[in-house]
Amino acid sequence: MKIVKFRTSTGDQWGVLEKETIRSIEGSPFDDINLGGEIHSLNDVTLLAPISPLNKVPAIAANYGERDDRDGPGIFMKQPGTYQRHEGNIVFPRSCKKVIHEAEVGIVISKVARHVDEKEALDYVLGYTCVNDVSARETVDISSYPERPEIGAGITMRWKHYDTFCPIGPHIETEISDPGNLDIECLVNGKISASGNTRDMLFSIPKLVSWVSEVMTLYPGDIIPSGCPETAEINIGDRVEVKVEKIGSLVNTVIGDY
């Protein structure tokens, strides 16, 4: 099942994507899904990021590469202003020199989760979506801006938190039996810029859900981006596509902050 959040002339709502149409959901997709009678053409609506601004995005750091002695991965947050829809624009901040893409699988939480055992973690997952954890990595280091010391380093708060720096979508895919074996690609202007597979994650999806739930209570609709295998720079004018096997493609264009 492909769950979407969409906008019509009468407001925002949730629905289920069925080929080129969307059938409205009565209530929330995080309760028992009850399909309504209203059907919309995909061409007549605007798809939104499948998340509420009230939900949080605790993202995973350094989950690919060489294994080390860590018990679990790093966690950082993406603020609600970063959430962007499929076909929305990524804004290249005017205070930045370099911006990178990070193509990831997003884990969508289905019910309240706290101190979840790893063996039971998938019971708390509604489905999966595409996420682009856009980052301005050089802002971590003040030496990148010797001519502008007033910018400051800002550690991770700035480089991950610029508005539009977390495109999500285009939908939530609920029917994935093995999330531990999904191909991930990021294409920039139609050319593969990065690729990988979730089987190469240092910490599995059940481990991530359990790990984050030890730190904070997870609520229905929260999304955990699971880390990216590779990154590369993106620039103004680029069309960036995050492509995840069995989920689909999340496409955004980079524009200037004018």
13: domain CATH number?
2.30.30.370
Query: What pTM value is reported for the model?
Result: 0.93
Q: CA 247 to CA 50: how far, in whole Å?
A: 13
What is the predicted pLDDT for the residue at 141? 60
Q: CA 70 to CA 197: how far, in whole Å?
A: 21
- CB burial readout 176-188, b (16+ within 10 A) else e: beebeebebbbbb
Query: In the chain, at which residue ranges do the beta strands (DSSP E only) sit?
Result: 2-8, 11-18, 21-25, 35-41, 46-48, 57-61, 74-78, 83-84, 89-92, 99-109, 125-132, 166-173, 183-188, 191-197, 223-225, 231-234, 239-244, 248-256
The amino acid that residue 197 corresponds to is N
The answer on 79 and 171 residing in a single domain is yes
The answer on 57 and 40 residing in a single domain is no
What is the predicted pLDDT for the residue at 27? 83
Structural domain boundaries enclosing 40: 1-48
User: What percent of the chain has pLDDT above 90?
Assistant: 82
What is the predicted pLDDT for the residue at 148? 54
The answer on 107 and 28 residing in a single domain is no
- Is 70 exceeded by the pLDDT of residue 256? yes
- Is 90 exceeded by the pLDDT of residue 142? no
Position 159 confidence tier, pLDDT thresholds 50, 70, 90: confident
What is the predicted pLDDT for the residue at 36? 75
3-state secondary structure of 216: coil
The answer on 200 and 83 residing in a single domain is yes
The answer on 70 and 144 residing in a single domain is yes
Q: Which residues pair with 92 in a beta bridge?
A: 256
Q: Which pLDDT tens digit goes with each residue over 83-104?
A: 999 999 999 999 898 999 999 9
Q: How distant, in Å, are the alpha carbons of 55, 72, 80, 139 from that of 245?
A: 25, 25, 26, 32
User: What percent of the chain has pLDDT above 70?
Assistant: 93
The answer on 76 and 121 residing in a single domain is yes
Q: CA 73 to CA 75: how far, in whole Å?
A: 7
Section 56-60 average pLDDT: 98
The answer on 177 and 62 residing in a single domain is yes
The answer on 92 and 4 residing in a single domain is no
What is the tally of structural domains in the chain? Answer: 2
What is the predicted pLDDT for the residue at 242? 99
The answer on 98 and 154 residing in a single domain is yes
Position 184 confidence tier, pLDDT thresholds 50, 70, 90: very high
What is the predicted pLDDT for the residue at 35? 81
- Is 70 exceeded by the pLDDT of residue 62? yes
Count other Cβ atoms within 10 Å, centred on residue 15: 26
Q: Which pLDDT tens digit goes with each residue over 123-133?
A: 999 999 999 99
The answer on 229 and 111 residing in a single domain is yes
The answer on 104 and 42 residing in a single domain is no
Residue 97 carries which DSSP code? S
Q: What is the CATH number of the domain that holds 100?
A: 3.90.850.10
Q: CA 117 to CA 128: how far, in whole Å?
A: 20
The answer on 44 and 68 residing in a single domain is no
